[in-house]
Amino acid sequence: MRYIKALLANLLVLIVFVPCVNAQTPDNFDTRAFIDLATRTTILEIKTAKLALLKSDNAEVKAYATRMLSEQQAVLAGLQNLAKVTRVTITNDSVSNEQQLTAGGVAPWLDGEKFNQAYSKRRLQERKKLVALMRKGMESGDVNVRSYATSALPVSLQQLYLAQQLSAGKS
């Protein structure tokens, strides 16, 4: 029953939020742009999850960060494989410093509840953008990107649902 509720919630997110968020992604982008954007987003999520594990004192935030860290490391491996198959080189300088973390919505100098609120709010925003990116990837002319995006969308939707739950608890 719980699985069905989560599935229905994900479908609701897909129906309600994705059309609104779709406008936030570029209208025309190629395989390289898709992989670059998805990789930057994934690396940022990994870095912010690590930061949350250090800075947060909230068990729910830490549990979310632990799950995102594990899942996003798997996503990064998938993106690296996609890059290899499509012969796209992933740059190593994606999200490498504190300024980029701050631009990603996580203020490393915050502590406690202020950090938790900023982290939760931004993760929700980033998950919405990622769902939109995966939907856009499903429309790609590159069969490899389409296949990747199609398989990644359910995971992205589940992560969006979790981010909604986390954000709802921090509002």
Domains in the chain, start-ordered, CATH in brackets? 28-170 (1.20.1260.10)
What pLDDT was estimated at residue 100? 56
What residues contact 58, with CB distance under 8 A and at least 6 apart? 113, 116
Neighbours of 11 (CB within 10 A): 11
pLDDT the model gives residue 28: 46
- CA 79 to CA 82: how far, in whole Å? 5
Q: What is the pLDDT of residue 170?
A: 58
Q: What is the pLDDT of residue 98?
A: 54
Distances in whole angstroms, Cα of residue 63 to Cα of each of 26, 136, 144, 167: 32, 29, 32, 13
Amino acid letter, residue 137? G
Instruction: State both tokens at 42.
Output: 């994934």
Is the model's pLDDT at 105 over the cut of 70?
A: no
Q: Place 156 in a pLDDT band, splitting at 50, 70 and 90.
A: very high
For residue 24 the two structure tokens come to 């936030």
Mean pLDDT estimate for the chain: 78
Neighbouring residues of 51: CB distance < 8 A, sequence distance ≥ 6: 101, 106, 108, 119
Q: Judge contact between 91 and 35, C-beta under 8 A.
A: no
The pLDDT assigned to 47 comes to 87
Residue 67's pLDDT is: 95
pLDDT at 101: 55
Which tens digits make up the pLDDT trace of 109-146? 787 888 888 888 888 999 999 999 999 999 999 999 99
Amino acid 6: pLDDT:
47
Residue 60: pLDDT band with limits 50, 70, 90? very high
Identity of residue 49: A
Residue 156 CA to residue 28 CA, distance in Å, equals: 21
| Tens-digit pLDDT profile for residues 6-31 | 444 444 344 434 443 333 344 446 89
Q: Output the pLDDT for position 21.
A: 38
- Predicted confidence at residue 93, as pLDDT, reads 56
